[in-house]
Amino acid sequence: MIDRRLLLGILIAGAGLVLRSDNDKFGGLSDLVVAADGRRFTSITDEGGWLAGEIVLEGSVPTGLANVRLGRLLAMSGRELERKPNSDAEGMALLNGDLTRGTVLIAFERNHRIGRFPVRNGAISAPTGYIKLPGEARRMKSNSGIEAVAVLQGGPHKGSILAIAERLTDPEGNHTGWLWIKDTPRRITIRDLREFDITSAAALPDGAVVVLERRFRWSEGVKMRMRYLKAATLGAGPVIEGETLFEADMGYEIDNMEGLAVHKGAQGETVLTLVSDNNFNTTLQRTLLLQFTLLAEGLADAGAR
């Protein structure tokens, strides 16, 4: 378990689960959405699958999963996505409604696109259409496309869609993303800190965003970081640096952390839920579900800087 003394007064480690299944379709979790009740969730995989179920809680502590269902993501024709270039789903956000009946955005890399997928009775249906990407998105490499997608929940651009590439850099090496303001994509730039890749983003109620990042080198293993981007900086023009909430290496109980979701806890606290992608390699990697509580007082200090 993560040492609370190292969490900068902003995050408190909650609990973590190692998820396992005998089903060979389980794994490769690349992002998730957690419902407002903190129990129901829906996740996607980078092999064109989805997984939905409930997080079992004892008080506020996750102890397992229940009522888990697996399914396949579909094309507009209703056929299952099969080939890797078409099925590599990496980012997910709730656009409207809820996880029983609503719409989720799903971002794919390789064949780069962001689709609107209806949710009916908790299952993800065929997409109704795709968001038009800006021309510069064509510069994204096959395996470094959009990994982070979020819908802003407050602030001056409430309701706008945010998407960030895993690694699409400007001449200074900074990350590229877009904010769709009134359906028009506006470029945003996020400062690169030590060559981490961006793997997910989750919107906070006030319009701020938490970004999840990962770095892997054979010489040092895997690292993760979470950064807080306050609402006023999004779409404002200058390079956004944000505030580092937490950074960890293999000395902590982490793995290839790729998915991030936000919900409010029973006492009104902000809970961050993370999942890892085991690349369907159960020998060398694990599927983890980790939770943190974002402290309001620490967040206020970060937002003031």
Would you report the helix, strand and coil content of the chain in percent, each value rounded to 5?
10, 50, 40
Q: What is the DSSP string of 194-228?
A: SSPEEEEEEE-TTS-EEEEEEEEETTTEEEEEEEE
CB 115 within 8 A of CB 123: no
Q: Exposure pattern of 274-289 as b/e (b: 16+ CB <10 Å)?
A: bbbbbbeeeeebbbbb
Structure token digits, residue 138: 């064509």
Amino acid symbol at 150 = A
- Pick from 150, 24, 143: which is nearest to 88 by CA? 143
- Pick from 247, 154, 157, 259: which is nearest to 201 by CA? 259
- CATH number at 4-304: 2.115.10
pLDDT tens series, the chain, 305 aa = 333 333 444 677 767 899 999 999 999 999 999 999 999 999 999 999 999 999 999 888 899 999 999 999 999 999 999 899 999 999 999 999 999 999 999 999 999 999 999 999 999 999 999 999 999 999 999 999 999 999 999 999 999 999 999 999 999 999 999 999 988 999 999 999 999 999 999 999 999 999 999 999 999 999 999 999 999 999 877 899 999 998 999 888 899 999 999 999 888 889 999 999 999 999 899 999 999 988 765 555 555 55
Structure token digits, residue 99: 């996880």
CB 122 within 8 A of CB 69: yes
* Domain range annotation of the chain: 4-304
Question: Going along 59-134, which residue ranges are E strands?
Answer: 61-72, 89-97, 101-108, 113-120, 123-124, 129-130
